[in-house]
Amino acid sequence: MTEFVLVPGAWLGSWAWKRVVPLLEERGHAAHPVTLTGMGDRVHLVSGDIGIETAIQDVLNVIKYSELDDFVLVGHSFAGKVVAAVADRAPEKVRTLLYLDAFRPDRVRTPQGSFTDAMGAGLTIPLTGETLDSIGKDVRGADREWMVSLATPWPTRYAGDTVTLSENFDSVKKAYIFCTGGSDAEYLAEILKGKWGELEGPHKVIESGHWPMITKPDELVKDMLDLSG
């Protein structure tokens, strides 16, 4: 059995993994979907005081109080910087750090991961139809209605705050899942060729938009298991 800790990206909560969790459980594995403070079912806790350290502690607490060890830590989208920081603090517990169409920190000891282009003046950043159309063209019909009905604004500090990693991060085994519609096709091709930094582990590519947990859960679970080590 493999344990998975599932950390969602912007605008999502643990609900985003609703189609993934039973597929993992049917195959004899266990899943622990996380909701970061200020989003999803914890949207009522949003405030100017929460930042990336809050998100990191959210995940560390799930690990501690679920008594997890030797697990696959999955980070989607912006949560790549969250799971990287978590793995940096608990490297002995993480079997594989799996980036799902996610931000991938570099092996540096300086602050990184501030998405200044996403930052606004307000407390949160809403999910717009334009964003859905640009990176989630395959989220349609009932899927789109479901996603929009449960999506919550993304706390601005989650976008703007940086993380700083230590040498612990370097030793963590890494793997990657990319989505063809999650970014510009040319940019994805450049990533896979190593133009934007060498990939430090195996990877899979899914023909989907940025949210395969909604549109391609079966393929996503297969790839997660293949890469889980």
pTM of the prediction?
A: 0.96
- Report the pLDDT value the prediction gives residue 120, as an integer from 0 to 100: 62
Instruction: To the nearest 10°, report the CA torsion of 1, 104, 207, 28.
Output: 10
**What share of the chain in percent tops pLDDT 70?**
98
Q: Comparing C-alpha atoms, which of 33, 107, 42 is closest to residue 74?
A: 33
Q: Give 45's contacts (C-beta < 8 A, 6+ positions apart).
A: 37, 38
Question: Percent of the chain having pLDDT more than 90?
Answer: 91
- pLDDT of 194: 87
DSSP character for 3?
E
Q: What phi and psi, each to the nearest 5 degrees, are found at residue 103?
A: -60, 135
C-alpha to C-alpha distance for 83 and 222, rounded to whole angstroms? 21
Sketch the domain layout of the chain as residue ranges: 3-227
Q: What is the pLDDT of residues 39-83, one digit of tens each?
A: 999 999 999 999 999 999 999 999 999 999 999 999 999 999 999
Say if residues 34 and 58 touch (Cβ distance below 8 Å): yes
The confidence score (pLDDT) of residue 7 equals 99
**Domain 3-227, CATH class in plain words:** alpha beta
Q: Is the pLDDT of residue 225 over 90?
A: yes
Please name the residue ranges forming H helices in the chain: 21-26, 52-65, 80-89, 129-135, 141-150, 156-160, 185-192, 212-215, 217-227
pLDDT tens, 113-133?
998 776 666 999 999 999 999
Single-letter residue type at 193:
K
The pLDDT of residue 195 is: 86
Range 195-215 average pLDDT: 94
Residue 25 has pLDDT above 90, yes or no: yes
- The pLDDT assigned to 186 comes to 87
Do residues 70 and 46 make contact, with C-beta atoms less than 8 angstroms apart?
Answer: no
Q: Tokens for 126, please give them.
A: 């809403």
| Cα separation, 198 vs 188, whole angstroms | 13
